[in-house]
Amino acid sequence: MTTFRSLARNRDFTVLWTGEAISQLGTSVSLFVFPLLGYALTGSAGLAALGEAAYLLGFVATLLPAGILADRVHRRRLMLLSSATGVAVYAALGALALSGALTFTALVLGALVSGVAAGIFGPAETAALQAVVPTEDLPTALSQNQARQHVASLLGGPLGGVLYTASRAVPFVANAASYLVSCLSLSLLRTDLAAPERVQKSRMLADLREGFGYVWRHPVFRPLLAYAALSNLVVNAVFTIAILRMVQAGVAPTAIGLVETCAGLGGIVGALMAPRIIDRVATGRITVLAAWSWLPLAAPLAFTASPWVVGPCVAIGLLLNPAGNAAMGSYRVAVTPAEMIGRTTSAMQFSAMATMPLAPVLAGLLLHAFGPASSTVGLMACIAVAALVPTLARAIRTIPRPASWPTTQPSYNEEPVGARAAL
């Protein structure tokens, strides 16, 4: 089993991971500050969330074209373009805030552009990992990436609060500096990250159809599309209802913040445990267990929304989640042709995230129409339906441990791995 310590000897992965860990922390700080500054500029709680919403919109809307670019253009150049855009955007926001000229419109536009840049970066980084990290090291590498996300989530809020207290400009200046570190780390990479040569190049729309077509034909990826979209919607809706109930009950914001702290800690511990779990348990079994784990954790929330209950439920749920994400993510990278990795990554991410903005809307409608208990029970039934998708998909259920995965990527013309397995 590859350990975090042994992976640290991979120079290019360590350089890439370090730069992006710092950059993600800076982004987490900005996402925390967006609603605070939005409210300060408008005095409206409804408008305050538009900054974060604009970031997510830019991110999701860019994923599909970003996947096409990652299969056509040098991956390091794409990542450098993304990080350089982050430097420019947040430096501009910092300068406007420092001069007192920052407007709400500029804040939302800056968030939108930074979301677009992040959407471009994601598929290119995943494609780069295929070149930087050997197949047998992918589970540990993706587990380490999961850890950096949870660390950024855990530290971003408190750090953002401290920086925002100092000055409105300081969080944005700090994030611009974090993106500058990302640019520096990317410039130090030695691995050739050029996109694979393709025998025949087609139009971008044809590339998009080809990417979705490959995902749809694959017996593992196709059911994962449905599972990820439904699971992300209903699980996030359950915990949104719990948060709304705490707000309605007048629970102190500091106590509500405990839930986010528990989520960060659970994710970090889960990411540290992930390589050992992935090495010892079949990937298909991890995926099924992770899918069903949310059902018993949602049950207590039908009766109470105390932060002392919601926090531990989120933390326990996130103990297994990083292993499930890293195992299936590394399997997908291992069995996807190099010339398709950008498009399959963006197609999967887009499908998984497209439903997430609907979770707060669904939670609000259900809470208003049926009350907290009935809404949570109904969503639990939806969690069970989502979990049945990987459970009944034999192609997913029978994926072995990484030791039995293919050691080389297939070509696009080869039959997808597991194509003969019945769903």
Q: Kindly report, residue by residue over 39-77, the tens digit of the pLDDT.
A: 888 887 667 768 877 888 888 889 888 888 888 889 999
For CA atoms 218, 405, 423, 347, the dihedral sign is negative
φ/ψ (deg, to 5) at 202:
-120, 180
pTM of the model: 0.75
The DSSP symbol for 408 reads: S
Length of the chain: 423
306 band by pLDDT with thresholds 50, 70 and 90? confident
> How much is the pLDDT for 392?
95
Q: Is the pLDDT of residue 1 over 60?
A: no
| Contact between 80 and 187 (Cβ < 8 Å) | yes
Backbone angles phi, psi at 124, to 5 degrees: -65, -40
User: Which amino acid would we find at residue 103?
Assistant: T
User: What average pLDDT does range 384-407 have in this prediction?
Assistant: 90
Region 102-119 average pLDDT:
93
Residue 82 has pLDDT above 70, yes or no: yes
pLDDT of residue 420: 35
Residue 363 pLDDT grade (very low, low, confident, very high; cuts 50, 70, 90): confident
Average of per-residue pLDDT across 280-304 = 91
Q: Which of 45, 367, 347, 42 is nearest to 224 (CA)?
A: 347
DSSP state of 403: G
Q: How far apart are CA 12 and CA 14, in angstroms?
A: 5
Q: Which of 293, 358, 298 is nearest to 325 (CA)?
A: 293
CA end-to-end distance (rounded Å), the chain:
30
pLDDT, position 409: 57
Q: Which of 179-193, 257-271, 399-413 has the lowest mean pLDDT?
A: 399-413
Most confident of 148-152, 186-190, 272-276, 358-362: 186-190
Check pLDDT > 80 for residue 418: no
pLDDT, average across residues 119-144:
87
* pLDDT confidence band for 382 (50 / 70 / 90): very high
Amino acid at 159: L
Is residue 15 a contact partner of residue 190, using CB atoms and an 8 Å limit? no
Task: Return the pLDDT at 419.
Answer: 37
Is residue 316 pLDDT above 80, yes or no? yes
Q: Is the pLDDT of residue 423 over 50?
A: no
Do 286 and 400 touch, CB atoms closer than 8 A?
no
Cα radius of gyration rounded to whole Å, the chain: 21
Residue 109 has pLDDT above 70, yes or no: yes
Q: When comparing pLDDT for 391 and 243, which is higher?
A: 391
Q: Average pLDDT of the chain?
A: 85
More confident of the two residues 159 and 92: 92
